[in-house]
């Protein structure tokens, strides 16, 4: 579904991504794990069009999308839930969700997808008229995910969905990520909590200083000594 081939990405003169290649098959949950600053978020931003690769190719469903404008990439079926949630604080929950569908014209489909979002996140329905800035961190994460789903993505990029959330909420969010995947949305997940990410993923890539250090089946990586020592608390 998505093939990233040898991309290099720079912030000014600093190279953040060094010749990264990876692929995602339709229906999978693929996770990127690695230390802070390894380049995981940069990789997501490059796929979603917020950053442009200097070299290399990004091909989605057979079409080259590397360097295309972010809204073009959303139109093609990729939605990005950024790190730190980035909800529109002064707008209501409802307005945030409607903004997620701004490229769509199918009124009936939008209504159906709104209902689906409320099924996944009943809390958002309770908070519909509330300003997004007044929501708790967990509710804002639900809103950011709901808003991304309103674009009807076939591929969902999730950046650090558990960041700053209480453990119980993290469990809920991850259960919902699995539900979203089961309804047919492919997911690329960046997550600090490597144990949790690997527990729901099909495959994983370990990113170290802008390069892919290891990749494989999520179960294999969970039992790899190297991964255990570096990312899973040693045992």
Identify the pLDDT of residue 115: 92
pLDDT tier at 233 (50, 70, 90 boundaries)? low
pLDDT of residue 225 exceeding 90, the answer is no
Identify the pLDDT of residue 103: 82
**DSSP result, the chain:** -EEEEEEEEEETTEEEEEEEEEEE-TT-EEEEE--TTSSHHHHHHHHTTSS--SEEEEEETTEE-TT--HHHHHHTTEEEE-TT----TTSBHHHHHHHHTTT---HHHHHHHHHHHHHH-HHHHHTTTSBGGGS-HHHHHHHHHHHHHTT--SEEEEE-TTTT--HHHHHHHHHHHHHHHHTT-EEEEE-S-HHHHHHH-SEEEEEETTEEEEEEEHHHHHH-HHHHHHHSTT-
Average pLDDT over residues 157-168: 89
Identify the pLDDT of residue 231: 79
Identify the pLDDT of residue 234: 55
pLDDT of residue 5 exceeding 70, the answer is yes
Tell me the range of 40-44, 108-112, 162-166, 167-171 where mean pLDDT is highest.
40-44
Query: What whole-number percentage of the chain has pLDDT above 70?
Result: 99
Query: What whole-number percentage of the chain has pLDDT above 90?
Result: 71
pLDDT digits (tens, 9 = 90+) for 39-83: 999 999 999 999 999 999 999 999 999 999 999 999 999 999 988
pLDDT digits (tens, 9 = 90+) for 100-136: 988 888 999 889 999 999 999 999 999 999 999 999 8
Lowest model confidence (mean pLDDT) among 16-20, 47-51, 111-115, 162-166: 162-166
Identify the pLDDT of residue 235: 46
Where in the chain are the domains? 85-152
pLDDT of residue 9 exceeding 60, the answer is yes
Identify the pLDDT of residue 199: 94
Average pLDDT over residues 134-163: 92
């Amino acid at each position: 579904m998505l093939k990233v081939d040898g991309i290099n990405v720079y912030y000014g003169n600093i190279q953040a991504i060094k010749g990264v290649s990876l692929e995602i098959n339709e229906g999978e949950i693929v996770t990127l794990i690695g230390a802070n600053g390894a380049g995981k978020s940069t990789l997501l931003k490059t796929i979603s069009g917020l950053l442009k690769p200097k070299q290399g190719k990004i091909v989605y469903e057979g079409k080259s999308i590397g360097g295309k404008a972010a809204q073009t990439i959303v139109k093609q079926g990729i939605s990005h839930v950024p790190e730190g949630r980035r909800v529109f604080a002064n707008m209501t929950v409802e307005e945030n969700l409607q903004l997620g569908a701004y490229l769509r014209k199918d009124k009936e489909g939008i209504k159906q997808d709104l209902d689906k979002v409320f099924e996944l996140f009943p809390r958002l329905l309770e908070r519909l008229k509330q300003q997004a800035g007044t929501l708790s961190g967990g509710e804002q994460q639900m809103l950011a995910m709901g808003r991304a789903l309103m674009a009807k993505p076939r591929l969902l990029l999730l950046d650090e969905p558990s960041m700053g959330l209480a453990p119980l909420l993290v469990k809920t969010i991850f259960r919902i990520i699995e539900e979203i995947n089961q309804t047919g949305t492919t997911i690329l997940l960046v997550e600090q909590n490597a144990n949790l990410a690997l527990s729901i993923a099909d495959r994983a890539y370990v990113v170290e200083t802008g390069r892919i250090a290891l990749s494989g089946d999520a179960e294999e990586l969970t039992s790899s000594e190297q991964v255990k020592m570096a990312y899973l608390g040693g045992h």
